[in-house]
Structure 1
Amino acid sequence: MVNITTTHIVYLISIFVIFLFMVFRKDIILPCIAGIFAVAMSQTKNILKSIEILYSSVFVSGKELWQVILIISLIIAMSHALDDIGADVVITKPLLRFLSSPSKTFWIVGIVMMVLSFFLWPSPAVGLIGAVLIGPVLKSGFDELSFASLVTIFGFGAALSGDFFIQGVPSVIAKTLGIPTSKLILSSIPVWGVTSLATIIFFYFVTMKKLKNNRGNKKIYGSNSSEKKIYKESYIISFVAVLFFAIDTFLMYILKIKGNAATALIGGTAIIVLIASTIVQKDFLNKTRDYLKNGFLSGIKTFAPIILISAFFFLGELTTAKEVIGPDAKGYLMDLGIYLSKHIPLNKYTVALMQLLIGILTGLSGSGFSGLPLVGALSKTFAHTLNINSSILASLGEITCIWVGGGTIIPWSVVPVTAVIKVDPDAIVKRNLLPVIIGLTCGYIATVLLL
């Protein structure tokens, strides 16, 4: 029998306060920090110890997430180096002759955006796609709004919600669940596939209908790709970069390289490609430093809030809570879930719906990452209570968080796209809203059937 203590109540109240901040679209870092301190004070009754726990919780959270931050920083640094030598133009140039109609452009650009997002992450990928392909895409019959929506759906929605290659998104959830990232990814594939496919297919018909209605307003645009300096070595480096990452993927499949080993392989390859891209430039020693510095600045900028948010939700898990607070700590969120299950009827339909709603709610902040620790912690709690698959349940929460907050249907989350393709963010959101809702609904149904 679980004993609910005052500290459990303090932790629960803190979660409600965080939810309220999310509902009113306010940043949740301060309430997360306040929640850590309140839980620490309730548990230890010692103000000095509680102040120490504030630091310890952030340290443990950062330690858990460091590898994720590192790989993403290296990927961003590499993508900037490739961009500066014109490798983006070299890689995408063979595609230009195939962009002859809106339908072909939809699938070619969408798939290229998805693949690049898998390997580079969506923000660098949209910079590459936007800079190089905007002219040919618009000449094929697309308008700017359809192009902007296309890259958000395929990149910030489908690719980022899976994140099978870099594994930044699933790593956050897996850390909270206490399971290998590879296990979570395998469990998520059916839910991810149903959600992404339903969204993309519906979005395709919406886009084709809009373009058919706007066909008489087609404009002619030039491409700025010819203005970018391309080194003679860029062709070799572009080929080698694509080849190396293809080999990485092949080796990961054949040799069953997973988890930290897979991340290390990708990170090492990114460093090699980065160095190759800087050596051909003038002042390459300083360039290498600048690329790495900017990459790490981008990585830390993305994940600094997540470290602080995760620090609070990691307290809900027994092992992490003991590491931060001490041997007397409890698994506060886990205990609350067990207690609620004995007083409130829970089943796979209701817990899956809760994951969907929590993912939507946390996504309203405009950061698809902010809700990941919470959906992971709650999935572990519900799975333990109902004896269901925590990975599948967490997958629905993960996918919802990213589709909603990652950069598809929240105006302030599509800024990376509007910075490259000059379109009103509200217009992108309006275009994407119905397809994403349909996709997430299909994902919920798939989750219930799989649980």
Structure 2
Amino acid sequence: MALTAAHWVYLAGVLLIIGVTIARKNVLVPALLATAVTAWVMTGSPIRGIQAIFDASLTAASELFNIFLIIAMVTALLGALRAMKADQRMVTPFQKVMRGGWSAYAVLAVVTYGISLFFWPTPAVPLIGAILVPAAIRAGLPAMGAAMAIAVAGQGMALSSDYVMQVAPGLSATAAGAKASTVADIALVLSLITGVTALVITALMMRRHMKQPSAENLERWEAGVVTDFTPARRLLRRIRSTAQQPTAEPISVEEVAEVVEEEKVPVGATAGPPGNDLPRARRGGGGGHAGSDDPPSSPGTFQAPETEIDDPRVARLSKIFSAGVPLVFVLMIAYLVLGKFDLVPSLEGGDAAALVGGLAAILVIIAVVALEGPKKALTSVGGHVTDGLVFAFRAMGVVLPIAGFFFLGNADFAGKILGYEDTDKAPGLLVDLVTAAARYIPHSGVIVCFGVLIIGMACGLEGSGFSGLPLTGSLAGALGPTVGVDPATLAAVGQMGSVWAGGGVLVAWSSLLVVAGVTRVPVIDLARKAFLPVIAGLVLSTLFAALVL
């Protein structure tokens, strides 16, 4: 078919969003404007173009609201566990396993992956940083090794698959027109390939830096001499030296300004997924409130929390729920796996997500009733759920207008957005563009997979790993049939690129700042050292997706 003006306007909108993303700016405004102009050109009505801004976001919200509810319920559950310090108790026993640098490295990776898989990295990183990182340093693991293990296992491997909560697969699958469960299964395999590869390469890089277990390791780390001083800390030392030696050269205003500029970290879209929030690592606390906008605490003030509980009843409940909640979710995953082999009734897509949200809600009620009693629970449960909903909209709200623009290019949603009575007559702008360009697209699954991976990584450069998923999912749905690649596979590849880049591993202005803060390493050095292992893992997993899946 011949391309119309609407097709070219839509293409210009896509390119504008990609360009703004690469420039590390928030794409919300470009997405809203592109939606209005595209709808105006498609219908010839500027009024409909203005209405499309609202209708596109509303359509996206109706399609994705199940994701918001899952986030809310799981966040509410974490709040209930934190009230009885069960979240701290879940990871404390692993301290005893850290007998040396290698065992500490393995424990950090495994525990970070497990906690992040169920609760996302936002609460996992401060919690693990407060309780397990000091034990790992004492066991002989270098601080950079601890930081890379946490970043790769949490922000990378766990968040990129998001297999339990299935927020990322849901976004990718909805845009690609595929099943969320299929995308989740493929993403899990690809994330494991990428993560294990990155962890192995990281271990090889760290092998010469491992130390013998010693209390001196922890003392030097706490004193800030394990890694190079940052410019701000060097300036602080000079200020102290000047105060102690009146004859020392005074510090100029220009020097202070230079240090401030050097330490300043550009921040992309701060309303990304929970893995991209920058929670406050509380002094002496087990982790900041999920979704907090406070910056990470100063590396020099991070201390392990006090896990002892004075009230024997609360201590007993803490022990029960610290073991019971993970067990319930493990049993749930076992049930889902058995369902894939038809051993029990199978749960697909939204059904599996509903099970996660329902279980979380029930556990919230049980935990709060057990801790505070039935009467107070009537108020407290509502408070936890409200906190969860607030966090969900703060974390994911910015995705709705972006998804709305890409839904406008999808024939399945365009009719509803534009108010067509017969929604089947709505054009599929993105599919039409891909069809028109089919002769220029290499009919190679490998090339197309790597192309979508690169686009996903470019979308992740703004520091928000989930905002690029509507684009990569839409491209997967349009490109997959053209080149003979399963759209679900292509969507999972794009998801890998977007989340590994923007979720807090490859860019320093994401939640990688939190990892650097709790491990006391320079964030730029951490991002640079993680680049080679992660890229190697992504290349290997993309080849696997193109040649095997």
Q: TM-score, structure 1 length as denominator? A: 0.93
Q: 1:439 to 1:214 in 2, by over 3 A?
A: farther
Alpha carbons of 1:93 and 1:26: their partners in 2 closer, same or farther (altered >3 Å)? closer
Q: CA deviation at 1:422?
A: 4.3
Partner of 1:90: 89
1:381-420 Cα shifts (integer Å, max 9, x gaps): 1112123211222211111111111011111112343454
Distance 2:34 2:121 in 1: 32
Structure 2 residue 322 is matched with structure 1 residue 238: yes
- Residues of 2 paired with 1:272 and 1:126: CA distance? 26
Q: Deviation of residue 280 (structure 1)?
A: 4.4
Asked if the contact 1:392/1:450 (under 8 Å) is kept, the reply is no
CA contact 2:179–2:488 (8 Å) conserved in 1? no
1:61-100 Cα shifts (integer Å, max 9, x gaps): 0111111111012112211221221112322233221111
- The structure 2 residue matched to 1:224, chosen from 305, 308, 311, is 305
Deviation (angstroms), 1:167: 0.7
Q: CA deviation at 1:297?
A: 1.6
Find the aligned partners of 2:41 and 2:476 in 1 and give their Cα distance. Answer: 25
1:431 to 529, 532, 536: 529
Q: Return the letter of the residue paired with 1:128.
A: L
CA distance in 1, matches of 2:514, 2:398: 18
Please give the alpha-carbon distance, in whole angstroms, between the structure 2 residues aligned to 1:429 and 1:285: 45
Is 1:412 matched with 2:544?
Answer: no
Q: How far, CA to CA, are the matches of 1:431 and 1:228 in structure 2?
A: 40
426-435 or 356-365, which deviates more = 426-435
Find out whether 1:295 has 2:373 as its counterpart.
no
**Alignment gaps of 5+ in structure 1:** none
Deviation at 1:311, TM superposition (A): 0.6
Residues 1:402 and 1:209: Cα distance change in structure 2 (over 3 Å): farther
Q: Distance in 2 between matches of 1:77 and 1:183?
A: 28
Range moving further from structure 2, 255-264 or 58-67: 255-264
Q: Structure 2: 5+ residue runs without aligned partners?
A: 223-302, 339-343
- 1:263–1:344 Cα change, 3 Å: closer
Deviation at 1:266, TM superposition (A): 1.4
1:270 and 1:153 map into 2 onto residues whose CA distance is 26
Mark the CA change 1:317 to 1:138 in structure 2 (over 3 Å): closer, same or farther.
Answer: same
> Partner residue of 2:332?
248
**In 2, Cα distance between the equivalents of 1:57 and 1:384?**
25
Which residues of 2 match residues 317-336 of structure 1 at below 5 A? Answer: 317-325=410-418, 326=420, 327=423, 328-336=425-433
- Superposition pairs for residues 175-190 of structure 1, below 5 Å? 175-190=174-189
* Number of residue equivalences: 450
Q: Does 1:129 align with 2:219?
A: no
Residue 284 of structure 1 and its aligned partner are, at CA, apart by: 4.4
Per-residue deviation, residues 336-380 of structure 1 (Å, max 9, x unmatched): 001001344442232122112101110101011011111111111
Q: Deviations over 1:182-213 (max 9, x none)?
A: 12223334433322221111112223333359
Classify 1:331/1:242 alpha carbon distance in 2 versus 1 (closer, same or farther; 3 Å).
same
Cα contact 1:134–1:223 (8 A) shared by 2: no
1:163 alignment partner in structure 2: 162
Identity of aligned residues (%): 27
Q: Is the 8 A contact 1:141 1:211 kept in 2?
A: yes
What is the deviation of 1:247? 2.1
Give the C-alpha shift of residue 429 in structure 1. Answer: 0.9
Task: Name the TM-score, length of structure 2 as normaliser.
Answer: 0.77
The match for 1:401 among 488, 498, 504 is 498
